[in-house]
Structure formats: C-alpha cells, structure tokens
C-alpha cells in the first residue's frame, strides 16, 4: 500500500470515528466547545500557581472536553517537556469524568480507584470505552499541547481510574464537560485539576459558563457531597496515598 493511499484511508477512518463527536448529548447541558472556556482561558488558568503539592513538581498535560466527550483544548502546565504518555492519559481522565458524571452526581477519576480493583463493584470498567488510537496519535508532535493539537475537535475516548479527572458544571448544576490532568503522581494530578476547575469559574459562555458547583458526589465534606479525593485503604470510593503524601484539596466555596 503506497503512502498516499494509506493517508487517505487514515483520514477516512479518523473522520468516521469523529463524526458522532459533534452532536451534543441532549440529555445533558448540550454545552459544546463553542460554549466552554477557550484554549487561551485554559492557558491563563494554568498560570495561576495551581500545581498540586502531592507530587514531584513535574510538568503536566491538561485536556478539556465538552459534554459530548469532544476534545476542546489540550495544553501544557509548567514546562514544555511533560511525559509524552501523559497527554493521552489526560484526555482519558477528562473523558472518564465527563462520561460517568451526570446532572445528579459528579464522579472524579480518583473516586473510581477502589471500585475497579479485583472484586470491586466496577471491576472491568477500566477496559471499557477504549482509547481511539487513531485520534490519540494523529498529527505532528510539534502541535501537541498547542491551540492546534490534533486531538482537538475529535473524540478520543478511554477510561482512567486514578486521580486527575473532574467534571465541570454550570450554575444550573448541569454537566457541561470535564478536565483531565496528567504528568505527576495521581494525587498531585487530582489537586491540580481541583485548583484548575476553581480557576476556570466564570469562564465560558451560555450553558458552558463554568460555576463552582457540583450536584453531589460520593465524598462528604461538611454540608456538601462532592467528587473530591478521599484517601484510605482500598474499598468503597477510596484512593490510595501516593509516594508523596497527598493532601485533600480544600472545598474553597464549592456548592451543591
């Protein structure tokens, strides 16, 4: 098969996979990338000292998806050389938080850690919804993490079950998309995502305007329930501690 034919087939298959990504989920907010924070908004938020403290201070990748799972933006945090493998993991985390959070409950990727272990109630979940490798690895690596990242506008899929993925909500409590962070320990990734979500409050427009709100979750903190990480032995919705001891992020005005 010659290179020209291979390129045509790759484009056709990629387009076929991508087609459903442009239809917003009518059962949710319907927020699309046009409503959500922009790449520039994401870059600004990433400059507000949001790095988690439960890691090694490594650079990270950040992915933003809309309510249908379509990638809206991919950016880099703190440096130009994060782990290459973490780019797709950040997209997986965003996809997972979006796919398993609803207008009734927010589920972070950290919340899934115990439930997917052997014998857990969701064992095998991590093998569902596999990554679309054509979308994940297409394009020039020089564009990764830029406004023209090759994943933007497409649906990458994937399920990830450790810290770093959080759903986004508007003031009406509607699920509007999600963010995923990867590049350090999973505990640090969760902290960074938590701070990033707060930094994005007020960004976006219409149904995609981010609010400091979740409808509820599996973690109880004072008068609210949310999608924060909870450390402990494997079981329930717990996430294990990382090599660098993780600190549970402060609620910081989050409401139900």
Per-residue pLDDT reduced to its tens digit, 92-141: 999 999 999 999 999 999 999 999 999 999 999 999 999 999 999 999 99
Report the Cα–Cα distance between both ends of the chain, in Å, rounded. 56
Does 116 reside within a domain?
yes
Angstrom CA distances, 201 to 36, 122, 184, 196, 248, stand at 11, 31, 24, 9, 20
Any domain includes 236: no
Range of the domain at 216: 3-226
Q: What is the pTM of this model?
A: 0.86
- For the record, the structure tokens of 78 come out as 């703190």
Residue environment code for 92-130, b if the CB has 16+ CB neighbours within 10 A, otherwise e: bbbbbbbbbbeeebbbbbbbbbbbbbeebeeeebbeebe
The per-residue pLDDT for range 149-167, each reduced to its tens digit, is 999 999 999 999 999 999 9
Asked if residue 246 belongs to a domain, the reply is: no
**Which phi and psi angles does 75 have, rounded to 5°?**
-140, 170
Are 152 and 73 spatial neighbours (Cβ–Cβ below 8 Å)?
A: yes
Give me 195's structure tokens: 């701070």
Residue 61 lies in a domain: yes
pLDDT score of 188 more than 80: yes
Domain count, the chain: 1
154 occurs within a structural domain: yes
Please indicate, yes or no, if residue 253 is contained in any of the structural domains.
no
Q: Using CA atoms, how far apart are residues 20 and 35, in angstroms rounded to an integer?
A: 18
Q: Please indicate, yes or no, if residue 241 is contained in any of the structural domains.
A: no
What is the sign, positive or negative, of the torsion defined by CA atoms of 193, 103, 24, 68?
positive
- Answer whether residue 249 is part of any domain: no
Distance CA 79, CA 220 (A): 35
**CATH value at residue 151:** 3.30.450.150
Alpha-carbon distances, residue 190 vs 73, 161, 217 (angstroms): 18, 12, 15
- Mean pLDDT for all residues in the chain: 87
Residue 13 tokens read as 């298959």
């Amino acid at each position: 098969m010659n290179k020209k034919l291979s390129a045509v087939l790759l484009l056709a298959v990629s387009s076929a996979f991508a087609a459903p990504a442009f239809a917003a989920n009518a059962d949710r907010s319907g927020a699309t990338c046009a409503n959500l924070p922009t790449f520039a908004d994401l870059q600004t938020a990433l400059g507000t000292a949001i790095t988690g403290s439960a890691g090694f201070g490594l650079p990270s990748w950040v992915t933003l998806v809309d309510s249908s799972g379509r990638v809206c933006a991919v950016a880099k945090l703190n440096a130009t050389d994060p782990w290459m493998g973490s780019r797709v993991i950040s997209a997986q985390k965003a996809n997972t938080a979006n796919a398993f959070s609803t207008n009734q409950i927010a589920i972070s990727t950290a919340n899934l850690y115990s439930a997917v272990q052997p014998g857990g109630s969701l064992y095998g979940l991590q093998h569902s919804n596999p990554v679309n490798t054509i979308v994940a690895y297409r394009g020039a690596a020089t564009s990764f993490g830029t406004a023209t990242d090759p994943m933007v506008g497409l649906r990458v899929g994937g399920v990830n079950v450790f810290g770093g993925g959080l759903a986004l909500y508007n003031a009406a409590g509607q699920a509007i998309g999600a963010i995923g962070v990867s590049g350090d320990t999973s505990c640090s990734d969760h902290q960074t995502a938590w701070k990033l979500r707060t930094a994005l409050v007020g960004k976006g427009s219409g149904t995609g305007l981010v609010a400091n709100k979740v409808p509820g979750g599996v973690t109880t903190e004072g008068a609210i329930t949310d999608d924060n990480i909870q450390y402990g032995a494997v079981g329930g919705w717990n996430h294990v501690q990382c090599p660098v001891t993780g600190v549970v992020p402060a609620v910081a005005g989050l409401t139900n």
